[in-house]
Amino acid sequence: MQVIESIFAAGYAQILVVDDGSIDGTEDLLGDLIENKKIHFVRHAANRGAGAALETGFAYIRSFWKENGWKYFVTFDADGQHDIKDMPHFLSAFEKNKDLDIVFGSRFIIKTKTNVPLVRRMILWGGKIFTSIISGVHLTDAHNGYRMMRVEVLDKVHITMDGMEYASELIDQIGFHRFSFKEVPVNIHYDSYTLAKGQRYGGPLRIVMRILIKKFF
């Protein structure tokens, strides 16, 4: 709820919440906002994973962007990692380059206030190298969930992998379709809650195997 309130306070009133089968009462907590149509809300009956949640959001945008007049959309984590104060960086990038298709947030393009633990920093570095090799798209922070895209990108981008491997699949599709992109600096806040919600250390290896099987077999 705090994340949604911060977005409203910043003036970004069009919010789509994808509830990935949570059991923490999210739908009840957002009940008034849903009933009064102050937010768009879709829910999975069971937890399916980050990739599935993102594709559900994409499908919703594909269905309703024209009637709502949407031109761009932002993917924004609900666990408190992302900072709405970084949004002007994304908007400025699109204002300066009208031909951009997507803008990625990066923890590493310049020094930010991101407090990335050392082990996680090493995992992210390895993920960046792997994704660069697989997709041909070179990013400083390939697995950052803070992104802004033109809605037309979704005509060609479809996420088929339900778990965290979706990030590599998304970037692979961006490379395949030759979308233009840019990175902007963002601050990511880690605490005990956000770290607990993240990938376990055995997860990256499973992601690599799934991506390789998906791409080559």
pLDDT value at residue 55: 98
- State how far the Cα of 166 lies from the Cα of 36, in Å rounded to an integer: 32
For strands 40-43 and 102-106, give the pairing: unpaired
CATH at residue 8: 3.90.550.10
pLDDT at 195 exceeding the cut of 80: no
pLDDT value at residue 63: 97
Q: Which residue range is the domain that position 131 belongs to? A: 2-216
User: If you average pLDDT over every residue of the chain, what do you get?
Assistant: 88
pTM strictly above 0.85: yes
**Total domains, the chain:** 1
pLDDT at 41 exceeding the cut of 70: yes
SS3 169: helix
In DSSP terms, 104 is beta-bridged to 147, 183
pLDDT tens-digit series, residues 159-186: 999 998 999 999 999 999 999 999 999 9
Q: What is the DSSP string of 117-138?
A: -HHHHHHHHHHHHHHHHHHS--
pLDDT value at residue 201: 46
Query: Which helix (H) or strand (E) is 139 found in, with range?
Result: none
- State how far the Cα of 7 lies from the Cα of 204, in Å rounded to an integer: 31
Specify the higher pLDDT residue, 122 or 155: 155
